[in-house]
A and B are shown apart, each in its own frame.
Chain A
């Protein structure tokens, strides 16, 4: 993926760029809002990572200017502000996702990859398939190896989100945000328990596991046999 990092803290930007390159991405950097806007407008990126507070031009204004130009490249906004509705203002300006600083790199990587691989017209597929596991969004049914698996509504949503991002790492916070629509950091392993319940339904009685725990990052649903 081609990623543009717009961040004025050079050390943070350099670290981020290095880590993203190690994860196999192509990275450009801009140190202020004007430069970031010029780069984002002139070339084609898969994801923009934009800090909210930038010299010369504020991060949010860069995003809204890009959106006004008809540029719909997914944007991840980084912010060190601690306002209660910081996220809301960030998303209203046209951001697609929001990550408060300081963040774990694994969290940022998971979010950037989720944004970059997200189909531009999201949510149009009617069913997902990973290995022999299928999820039908219209009939709200889940089958594995031809056998229907009954799921609670929330478990269905959880699996749906995981399968939508099949092959990618999904963090606990991403799950809480997208499945439960809450944006706080749970202090306990609430999400893990939900995952293990889901796992006991879709993996337990089958030959190979599809739902994997990625240590230090989160979860991923993928068929490793392929």
Chain B
């Protein structure tokens, strides 16, 4: 019962009903139109035939009087497929003709008007219908000429029949359409809901079926699949993060706790200096934790699409200039170099703090991990160029670079590639850059500077003068 109810509520059913209705009305109108046109054409033809016969008979009458008329009518009446004739005398007795049983009324109105009458054939008693004209001529004779209407009626019957058959065919067609549409559409929708349920139940690897036909269901499924892809990536990211938070936050916490506990346990034996150094390293651990925590929060805020981040027009030339100036002494201090390459004067809509932070992270990474293994120093170059509608802030170094297979992973939270494990860091730097890039409608791309890594922060250009 419920499944039947469900069936009637389906879109397919509604569509089929509408389709049937429209088609029925359209064919009905068409058939009625055809019927009317044909009937009037047939009637016109009958009238024409009758009139032609009358004028022929009139000629005969004028030539040979009543006697000749009767003779001609008698001869005509015997022909197969003849028209209808009747000649009566003043008393109403039939003199010639092929019909009988005409009402007196019909014969009385002998003024040549077209009239519809009932009649019988001479050899048959079945009542038939005819269209006739009756004239009175000299001597009280009356002449009736007409045509049988059976043909017209037959046509009407045929039309009515075909309308009926057509309706039956329509209903069957509608039914078939309904079944086809509902089977196909319902099947796909049911498949989608089933997949949806499996996903809700936790199987995130499920995807909606795409049959390659490119229809709207395919497009819908493709769109939803892309969404699922993203959700899956985010959830795995989240799982990664919680695993990594567990590791990256718990490790220093454990270390700190052990250290403090150790100092407390051996308390009496220690002098103040040892206590002090224990506390100092505990504070250092705390600071490291706070930094990691802050970075995480910041990434989360930025990724959530912080609506509170104030966006202004940022002069990228000025920004890169400032950051280069800020970090150049540090690079030199470490025996590395930091230089500005070609910097095109571009502007972008952005949050100054976040963009500066992102650029600083890239520069710090380049200085830290971009060291040439042979010389132990890094050559870092910052450049700004334009690619179509994109402003590309690139920071390249001359270090070992990142293997192509690792590049995508590098920007994930807490991911620290093997080469960087020995250096201090949280593994959050590139994640923040990526989050900032996305907030600005851009992206972070890691490429090969041959040798070294080229990190590109891509942002939509804001055209000069536009606000």
Interface residues of A (CB under 8 A from B): 82-86, 88-89, 100, 102, 104, 154, 180, 182-190, 193-194, 196-197
Residues from chain A with a CB closer than 8 A to the CB of B360 are: 184, 186
Residues from 360 to 378 in B contacting A, C-beta threshold 8 Å:
360, 364, 367-368
Q: Are A190 and B326 in contact, with the CB atoms below 8 A?
A: yes
Residues from 331 to 389 in B contacting A, C-beta threshold 8 Å:
332-333, 351, 353-354, 356-357, 360, 364, 367-368
8 Å CB contact of B294 from A82, A186, A197: A82
Residues from chain B with a CB closer than 8 A to the CB of A84 are: 298, 301-302, 306, 308-309, 351, 353-354
| Cα-based distance from A180 to B318 in the complex (angstroms) | 12
The verdict on A83 contacting B326 (CB below 8 Å), with A184-B353, A187-B291, A193-B333 known, is no
A-B contact pairs, 7 of them (CB 8 A): A82-B297, A83-B301, A85-B309, A85-B351, A100-B294, A187-B291, A193-B332
Q: Are A182 and B353 in contact, with the CB atoms below 8 A?
A: yes
Residues from chain B with a CB closer than 8 A to the CB of A186 are: 360, 364
Residues from 273 to 319 in B contacting A, C-beta threshold 8 Å:
286-287, 290-291, 294, 297-298, 301-302, 306, 308-310
A216 to chain B, nearest CB (A): 9
The verdict on A193 contacting B322 (CB below 8 Å), with A82-B297, A84-B308, A188-B364 known, is no
Q: Are A180 and B353 in contact, with the CB atoms below 8 A?
A: no
Residues from chain B with a CB closer than 8 A to the CB of A82 are: 294, 297-298, 301
B309 to chain A, nearest CB (A): 4
| Cα-based distance from A122 to B326 in the complex (angstroms) | 26
Residues from chain B with a CB closer than 8 A to the CB of A196 are: 333
Question: B135 in the interface, Cβ–Cβ < 8 Å?
Answer: no
Q: Are A187 and B364 in contact, with the CB atoms below 8 A?
A: yes
| Cα-based distance from A136 to B327 in the complex (angstroms) | 27
8 Å CB contact of B353 from A89, A183, A187, A188: A183
A190 to chain B, nearest CB (A): 5
Residue total for B at the interface (Cβ-Cβ under 8 A): 31
- In the complex, which residue of chain B has the Cβ closest to the Cβ of A104? B287
A204 to chain B, nearest CB (A): 15
Question: B150 in the interface, Cβ–Cβ < 8 Å?
Answer: no
Q: Are B310 and A85 in contact, with the CB atoms below 8 A?
A: yes
Residues from chain A with a CB closer than 8 A to the CB of B354 are: 84
| Cα-based distance from A83 to B306 in the complex (angstroms) | 8
| Cα-based distance from A89 to B298 in the complex (angstroms) | 17
Residues from chain B with a CB closer than 8 A to the CB of A85 are: 306, 308-310, 351
Residues from chain B with a CB closer than 8 A to the CB of A89 are: 308
| Cα-based distance from A84 to B333 in the complex (angstroms) | 32
8 Å CB contact of A102 from B290, B322, B353, B364: B290
Residues from chain B with a CB closer than 8 A to the CB of A183 are: 353
Residues from chain A with a CB closer than 8 A to the CB of B408 are: none
| Cα-based distance from A190 to B327 in the complex (angstroms) | 6
- In the complex, which residue of chain A has the Cβ closest to the Cβ of B426? A187
Residues from chain B with a CB closer than 8 A to the CB of A187 are: 291, 364, 425
| Cα-based distance from A187 to B302 in the complex (angstroms) | 19
| Cα-based distance from A190 to B290 in the complex (angstroms) | 20
Question: B109 in the interface, Cβ–Cβ < 8 Å?
Answer: no
B350 to chain A, nearest CB (A): 12
- Sorted nearest first, the 3 A-B pairs with minimum C-beta distance are A82-B297, A193-B329, A84-B309
Question: B206 in the interface, Cβ–Cβ < 8 Å?
Answer: no
A158 to chain B, nearest CB (A): 11
| Cα-based distance from A186 to B360 in the complex (angstroms) | 8
Q: Are B326 and A180 in contact, with the CB atoms below 8 A?
A: yes
The verdict on A188 contacting B309 (CB below 8 Å), with A83-B301, A84-B302, A102-B290 known, is no
| Cα-based distance from A85 to B357 in the complex (angstroms) | 13
Q: Are A88 and B310 in contact, with the CB atoms below 8 A?
A: yes
Most chain-B CB neighbours within 10 Å: which of A89, A154, A190? A190
Residues from chain B with a CB closer than 8 A to the CB of A188 are: 330, 364, 367-368
Residues from chain B with a CB closer than 8 A to the CB of A185 are: 291, 294
Residues from chain A with a CB closer than 8 A to the CB of B332 are: 193
B434 to chain A, nearest CB (A): 16
Q: Are B309 and A193 in contact, with the CB atoms below 8 A?
A: no
Residues from chain B with a CB closer than 8 A to the CB of A184 are: 353, 356-357, 360
B386 to chain A, nearest CB (A): 25
Question: B325 in the interface, Cβ–Cβ < 8 Å?
Answer: yes
- In the complex, which residue of chain A has the Cβ closest to the Cβ of B296? A82
Q: Are A190 and B309 in contact, with the CB atoms below 8 A?
A: no
| Besides A84-B298, A85-B309, 5 other A-B contacts (C-beta < 8 A) | A85-B306, A182-B356, A187-B364, A188-B364, A194-B329
